[in-house]
Amino acid sequence: MKIEQLFDPATSTYSYLLWDKKTKQAALIDSVKEQLERDTTLIKQLALDLKYTLETHIHADHVTGSGQLRDIFNSQAAVHKNSESDCANILLSDGDTLKLGDEVIDIIYTPGHTNTDISYHIDSILFTGDALLINGCGRTDFQSGDASALYHSITQKMFTLNDETIIYPGHDYNGFTSSTIAREKAFNSRLGNNKSEKEFVAIMDSLILEPPARIDIAVPGNQQCGLNET
């Protein structure tokens, strides 16, 4: 499996282009509409067969390019079933799998940041979206957020994976690109070092955060695969 980590500086969003080396079948995780030209050029340069555009959740800070990429490459857009997205080709649930050439992507439902969050597990790599960040986690104060649910998603699902599992997050604001399960279990400031659910909920409840700047555009836009922003 080959992975290209891509970055949108305006929203500090990581997108991930991954592909099976033998078949060249590819998936793009968490595309950003403003980066459509970059992503399209790269996929064509690498002569990849884009099979899926995958979302880790319905984003509130950027609009996906999945619909336009589907039009260009005849790919399939996939998101969790709670999104109620009429435009998606695939509505995913916990325990589902997706084939990418000779590779298998396991779908893990990881709610808490929103009720649409899923993580993608392939080989020894976990794409965590906004649920688990490097030394942090996604906020839980809007869009079906639930701090207790997020605690259980991370501690009972993600933290049960092999300690050497590499974490690729949906965002980073401090210059980091990846982490590991072991590192986050030990050092994550919000829930590492065996913090209790009560401690975690208290931390999350104490956060005072401004709403995402584009939430009114991004949420409905992402429910429509980025094709009908309102």
Q: What is the pTM of this model?
A: 0.96
pLDDT higher than threshold 90 for residue 28: yes
Q: Which residues contact 103 (CB under 8 A, 6 or more apart)?
A: 1, 20, 122, 123
What single-letter DSSP state applies at residue 151?
A: H
Compute the average pLDDT of residues 82-102. Answer: 96
pLDDT at residue 230, as a whole number? 44
Class of domain 2-208: alpha beta
List pLDDT tens digits, range 42-54: 999 999 999 999 9
Task: Count CA atoms closer than 13 A to 209's CA, side-chain side.
Answer: 13
CA 122 – CA 159 distance, rounded (Å): 15
- Confidence class for position 214, pLDDT limits 50, 70, 90: confident
What percentage of residues in the chain have a pLDDT greater than 70? 99
First to last CA, the chain: 37
Compute the average pLDDT of residues 145-159. Answer: 98
- How many angstroms separate the Cα of 176 from the Cα of each of 11, 28, 135, 169, 170? 15, 20, 10, 10, 11
pLDDT higher than threshold 80 for residue 229: no
pLDDT higher than threshold 70 for residue 86: yes
CA 186 – CA 180 distance, rounded (Å): 10
Compute the average pLDDT of residues 19-32. Answer: 98
Mean pLDDT computed over every residue of the chain: 96
Q: Answer whether 4's CB lies under 8 Å from 15's CB.
A: no
